Structure 1
């Protein structure tokens, strides 16, 4: 225990037996936090208490020291309302495991009653998503769970991966090649977005799993070791047979997706960890998918982070312009937002599928009537079908959920007609993608509509009552009559209150919380509040809600009778819910159709609402080697307040211009420029229009990036090592069809080592890989690469300077930046003037102190001698100028005068003993 903690207040241990019980608990990892349920609050102890004080309460003052005999234990209390906030932060943001322990009333022993992790939230769903109703209600999809094991059969190392997505009720299997730096695996992690990964805890290949652990941790994924036996695969796939829906009771062991037993073993480990077999609602409710990594553009973690593709959970409510997702998200539905997240993580590489998406976006851009109808009359009225489906699967569904489905389905025929009315050369695409599937969904729900209309009392829904028709049972008829009589009395009371107060605008309304109440406009507030007979419930913009004693009595009667009615109708409601569960597959089909339609509408709205032009990029097949962007802009930055974005061009041509070196001042726009190229390529390959005046590009297979000097010391990786790991990933992953973005490579080591690495890496990418590369650098010497390699060209971000000012123009122009602007930037940062002047002096010395000497001379000279030669050279040159000025120009022709000057310089060089001056003269 630290001395700091000992200074905090102590208190006698409240549960004397707890200390010994606490010491008997099994060991846990530092990434697991244990809460002890004590009824009205929770307690944390030991290192967990210190963690909570530091990370959640942000102060050590909350720590108490429990003392018992010679033992001390750090203790921290968490109130129940704070527990929910803390739990969300641990599981969803910090990605920790959580255990809840409680003392048994019978045995008196502390036992674990709940546990969860970032990939296994099922036991905490009610707490985590209170107010949201389901894990799928967040725009950022609920993370799935991954399992990995290595397969060394036939002397070929492969990674077998299994993935489960409980939201879509699907299993994914994927087999990828094992490479030293797990390049394909990192792309898979970005595509699927798991927050936790299961690996075998024992057995062979420990070196491999140690390397794998480091890769997963570097990608912010919690690693959970499970028994090797959990990864075993039985020949009959019995567990999967229980969960996967098949036709004609097929055995899933015959599925081609499950031919690899190691993949089956990964799925078995997931099933055991998530305890999927313990929930009967999972039976025959999952599907199996074979995931092909090559169907999607590959991203490394550097590109995913640096291009700001998605907001993290902590930023979801922040400025939308901070991420590509925020810019493109004009979706009207939650399911559309979830699918957009998936599309951004999984850009396509099939040109035909991308162009199909572009065609649909273009249809909606050009057809304003269709676009507006879809937004206002259909998409905005669609509920979150995944949320409703989750409620059915968790046995939480009610008649209101059935009614939401009914309303949506009732609206489908008019949506069908709306789409059918579109005319144009691509009308067949609308028919194929939406009209035909929609027609099938309408037919699937025909009997569902009949069921709801025949059982649900639709007239009562306007009063927020979801009741079965009273004609179903005599007992319901009787209760219905009682409800009607109470309602008549309430309506009569409303007329009386209107007369008593002398107000004609009194409205009688009801909701589930307050029951019946009166409402008047806010201007009548004084009339209501001046009467002691009435009680104000709530004051809002839309009016004053109030009741009186008589209405409260009638409300109580109404609620009592309604509760009896709901209890009496329970059997019928259960039957309706059970029948409705049979429509979940059709509901999922409807969810998929609505979410895709929502994204296409969103892309069209983004393209049309931008202040500057968004255009459809022209695509070329992979390998054709074209990337031409005119007046391209960064979609996030141009939307930020107070920014007048300067557009720039970019051009790459295979075998002609493939490697662009960009120089220029800090803050001049180099990083923004190279990032925006990556963002626009990704946007094009998800099917979106892009912010530019024209765009033409070949499909790329990867976008790889090394941008920024992110410090990874908390993960045991230095800044420079992180840079080298990311660059190594690029060198081993990039192909001739890739786009590589590199910013300020080599800053974490000495200048000479950094420059050497930058040159060697650039040379390799140009000569061996031959991919399109944007390389922003402060190593101006690197620009000499263009003189050696024909496909390398130089660009720079322009700026205007005077002695006292620096004006950044943010325009990318051809050629090399002719100077460094570091001291100008320091002046902008308000450095003290004496520091600026001293920096100028040292910079001039270092720039001048690069003597052009023969190698044998240079190696023989030490630092002080070289500086002495430089000083002597300045004096020699001054004397030369004086001698040149004495030559009579009028006595010679121009050619003779130049010859005379040259003779004078060379004769002077023979006299002086200064290798620096001689080297300068040799260049003339």
Structure 2
């Protein structure tokens, strides 16, 4: 999420005398060390400061883009020196947004009362105290989830894992327990699925060290909260009784909930509730829903696959950024117009489904929208763009922070939804009717009471003038104040007519009566009429803007002042009424949340249709087959991100897997030849189909998969102390343990992080295991040409290569997948393409030829020894053929040994003879 805001370079002045600076340094020193993941701010009323070299440098670069704004509190006293950066309120808010939402760091704010005290604390998963700063007048485009974990050792290498995820935007608790291996394979899939910003652990050491490493590898902040007392550990049911939204007629007692039978997950839930302090926020009471999370509903994704397929954009890329569209699958598919749509789309791409029924519904709706382009444009461009973030408005209601303006915005949604419903019904599609229209109708029925209340209470005439007021008919005093205000307004209108005449304006020249917050009621004329106004001493100019000259008179000023006084009295009088209205509106939070979710779903489905239609070559609907059908056909598959980039003319390729005929492609070819792009394209298309989107192919038939696993492009992970080879082994071991015959596996360049022979051995072993034992759909790109020999012993393994054409002077990559093995790697030709100095390339060719000649000499010596052996074998066979007493078994053994010896000869002639014999 990118933070875009105009940054003020004006640095505030820190008003502290020398003594105050010394006292603060003493206090700051007493605070002691803090975690590197925490940034501390100090509220000094007129500005904010941050201290310490690391924090100062970080914040100065975020706000001012320069460390020149880092100063010393006591520049003349090196012994007591303490660096600081001073920030205005707006720049403080900018820094907090960046630190919490982009950098995933903690923020603490100290405020001085008698002494400095920690007043506000926030973290990536706990944004409550900073919501007004983070989301005031801004769309919330990201989810706000936090995970809590408990792990218990089981038998052998097994671990029992209890997980609770808290989604504060949606007010949901999701719980699950499972048995995991010592590599925490299932836990990693859960982390990928939920995408938490932060995770609560009982400890960061011992058994939890491996969990901490896994979480950090997936970009999740780890927090170890303080352990609660024995009494606190027993009050989970009491907390849930306050937080959970019980159904009508349901006994409001959480102790009987089946979810609480999961003891580890329940303890994780208790820790999360205490850490987030949910019970002490009145806006949370009675609004949370407890759910069981079923991992089997979703396609298993490991973190390597998420990275390999570029599912989500890199941190800091905002949806409005030009590069957002082609940097990830989320960017390709996310054409949503609403904040709730953006959030749901992010969730969908991380949670591909295994339900053929739900996916068929999504595909049906997307196809229906594509068949009705005018309807799609009406929904996407007209209606969805005018839908506010209902979830955030509902949260303001629940926290009693909502205003009449917020209530009116909700009312506008209730007016627009029937219009959306009418457009959808015109499609006359049964799936659209059942999946979208019916829930809309139900929500509108549930919200009819709220709609009627708003119509009875809100003064719609006042809204036209930019004011949000309660109807005067609600209260006698309001009636009196409203009459006074109306009387004053009529008097100001009469003054307007009088001014028109005094300035000798005709009907084309207008004196306008306007109301601006800082100026109150005033007149305005165009700039070209300025000279006429200056000649009249009855009026005085108060402001000059592009839109004209603002001016007033003594009489108008008096009326305007009186109007403001009555208006303030009116607002004070209506406050209690507004509070009662908001209290009633809170009771509609459940149907409002449901309506929000339905609109988000519609926005995502429209987005899928827009993505399919706007691609350089339109996407097609995939045909989904039941799990285990053993078919994966993608004709002319393209990579959706690459084809969106400028100056890219994508060359499409195909893949055709079929159970018991072909379950593995071993792909060879030169560097830069397109191997990685090809296998990623296949993985991406399968993922998109399981999300409910159309796919970048000309034809797609896909058996439902249970997991998409990847090992593509590993690199050193210096921060975690892991080498390239170790990262490869961790990722690949996860694939071997997880893959089934219903999985899709993509592997690229496995085994390159160690010696050639070891790497080849490991790659061969893994490829053979996947092809022979697991029998999953596998795309295996490699530079180890020896592995292509697997196709000789396993009929379900096929060789293919990325085509290239080369001669002495030219080298052309064709980016086409063709059957068979690529005999050369063309590394030297690629070096030429990369503009290596010619003398370096020539030296490489010379060394290569020397090694090749040396290998040929060794091969010739081996061939001579084999030939001698073969001559003996021929003589034995000849003798045996004339010997009528030799038994058949001995003769067969001699023939078999002779054939094996022949195969070891590096001779094109013998190879041709053998292949001809096989053909016959």
Which category describes the TM-score, using the shorter chain as reference length?
A: 0.7 to 0.9
Q: Deviations over 1:358-380 (max 9, x none)?
A: 12222222234543443355333
Structure 1 window deviating more from structure 2 (745-754 vs 646-655): it is: 745-754
Structure 1 window deviating more from structure 2 (640-649 vs 78-87): it is: 78-87
* Partners of 1:146 and 1:161 within 8 A in 2: yes
Matched, 1:20 2:22: no
Shift, 1:801, TM fit: 3.0
Q: What is aligned with 2:408?
A: 403
Shift, 1:281, TM fit: 2.0
Matched, 1:188 2:167: no
Give the direction of change, closer, same or farther, for the CA distance of 1:230–1:787 in structure 2 (3 Å limit).
farther
Shift, 1:845, TM fit: 2.1
| TM-score normalised by the chain length of structure 2 | 0.85
* Partners of 1:213 and 1:223 within 8 A in 2: yes
| Match 2:463 to one of 448, 451, 461 | 461
Q: What is aligned with 1:148?
A: 149
* Partners of 1:140 and 1:313 within 8 A in 2: no
Q: What is aligned with 2:278?
A: 276
Q: What is aligned with 1:733?
A: 738
| Match 1:668 to one of 656, 670, 673 | 673
Shift, 1:313, TM fit: 4.2
Give the CA RMSD over aligned residues: 3.1
Structure 1 window deviating more from structure 2 (468-477 vs 339-348): it is: 468-477
* Partners of 1:63 and 1:75 within 8 A in 2: yes
Give the direction of change, closer, same or farther, for the CA distance of 1:450–1:833 in structure 2 (3 Å limit).
same
Shift, 1:709, TM fit: 3.1
**What is the rounded CA distance, in whole Å, between the counterparts of 1:453 and 1:153 in structure 2?**
61
Matched, 1:77 2:85: yes
Shift, 1:270, TM fit: 0.3
* Partners of 1:35 and 1:100 within 8 A in 2: yes
Give the direction of change, closer, same or farther, for the CA distance of 1:419–1:851 in structure 2 (3 Å limit).
same
Matched residue SS, 1:402: helix
Q: What is aligned with 2:70?
A: 62
**What is the rounded CA distance, in whole Å, between the counterparts of 2:636 and 2:524 in structure 1?**
57
Shift, 1:415, TM fit: 3.4
Shift, 1:67, TM fit: 7.3
Matched residue SS, 1:21: helix
Matched residue SS, 1:266: helix
Matched, 1:126 2:132: yes
Give the direction of change, closer, same or farther, for the CA distance of 1:785–1:226 in structure 2 (3 Å limit).
same
Give the direction of change, closer, same or farther, for the CA distance of 1:339–1:507 in structure 2 (3 Å limit).
farther
Matched, 1:620 2:620: no
Give the direction of change, closer, same or farther, for the CA distance of 1:189–1:850 in structure 2 (3 Å limit).
same
**What is the rounded CA distance, in whole Å, between the counterparts of 1:769 and 1:852 in structure 2?**
41
Shift, 1:517, TM fit: 6.7
Structure 1 window deviating more from structure 2 (16-25 vs 642-651): it is: 16-25
Q: Kindly report which structure 2 residues correspond to 1:86-485, keeping only aligned pairs within 5 A, or say none.
A: 86-105=95-114, 108=115, 110-132=116-138, 137-142=139-144, 144-152=145-153, 157-201=159-203, 207-229=206-228, 233-234=233-234, 237-247=237-247, 248-316=250-318, 317-318=320-321, 319=323, 320-376=325-381, 378-423=383-428, 427-485=429-487
Shift, 1:494, TM fit: 5.0
Matched, 1:549 2:549: no
| Match 2:573 to one of 568, 576, 595 | 568
**What is the rounded CA distance, in whole Å, between the counterparts of 2:672 and 2:493 in structure 1?**
69
**What is the rounded CA distance, in whole Å, between the counterparts of 2:285 and 2:335 in structure 1?**
36
**What is the rounded CA distance, in whole Å, between the counterparts of 2:643 and 2:810 in structure 1?**
25
Q: Kindly report which structure 2 residues correspond to 1:904-915, keeping only aligned pairs within 5 A, or say none.
A: none
Give the direction of change, closer, same or farther, for the CA distance of 1:194–1:607 in structure 2 (3 Å limit).
same
**What is the rounded CA distance, in whole Å, between the counterparts of 2:665 and 2:73 in structure 1?**
61
Matched, 1:822 2:827: yes
Q: Deviations over 1:889-923 (max 9, x none)?
A: xxxxxxxxxxxxxxxxxxxxxxxxxxxxx987997
* Partners of 1:746 and 1:758 within 8 A in 2: yes
**What is the rounded CA distance, in whole Å, between the counterparts of 2:179 and 2:858 in structure 1?**
52
**What is the rounded CA distance, in whole Å, between the counterparts of 1:730 and 1:230 in structure 2?**
42
**What is the rounded CA distance, in whole Å, between the counterparts of 1:279 and 1:431 in structure 2?**
39
Matched residue SS, 2:133: helix
Q: What is aligned with 2:877?
A: none
**What is the rounded CA distance, in whole Å, between the counterparts of 1:855 and 1:844 in structure 2?**
16
Matched residue SS, 1:226: coil
**What is the rounded CA distance, in whole Å, between the counterparts of 1:609 and 1:920 in structure 2?**
54
* Partners of 2:710 and 2:747 within 8 A in 1: yes
**What is the rounded CA distance, in whole Å, between the counterparts of 1:273 and 1:537 in structure 2?**
53
**What is the rounded CA distance, in whole Å, between the counterparts of 1:560 and 1:526 in structure 2?**
34
Q: Deviations over 1:819-876 (max 9, x none)?
A: 2232222222222221121122122223333246479979x9xxxxxxxxxxxxxxxx
Q: Kindly report which structure 2 residues correspond to 1:751-766, keeping only aligned pairs within 5 A, or say none.
A: 751-766=756-771
**What is the rounded CA distance, in whole Å, between the counterparts of 2:702 and 2:87 in structure 1?**
57
* Partners of 1:92 and 1:313 within 8 A in 2: no
Q: What is aligned with 1:6?
A: none
Q: What is aligned with 1:784?
A: 789
Structure 1 window deviating more from structure 2 (54-63 vs 240-249): it is: 54-63
Structure 1 window deviating more from structure 2 (500-509 vs 460-469): it is: 500-509
Shift, 1:120, TM fit: 0.9
**What is the rounded CA distance, in whole Å, between the counterparts of 1:399 and 1:840 in structure 2?**
78
Shift, 1:554, TM fit: 5.6
Give the direction of change, closer, same or farther, for the CA distance of 1:548–1:511 in structure 2 (3 Å limit).
closer
| TM-score normalised by the chain length of structure 1 | 0.84
Matched residue SS, 1:309: coil
Aligned residues: 836
Structure 1 window deviating more from structure 2 (500-509 vs 738-747): it is: 500-509
Q: Deviations over 1:369-407 (max 9, x none)?
A: 543443355333322101211211232200011111112
**What is the rounded CA distance, in whole Å, between the counterparts of 2:193 and 2:579 in structure 1?**
40
* Partners of 2:309 and 2:683 within 8 A in 1: yes
Matched residue SS, 1:447: helix
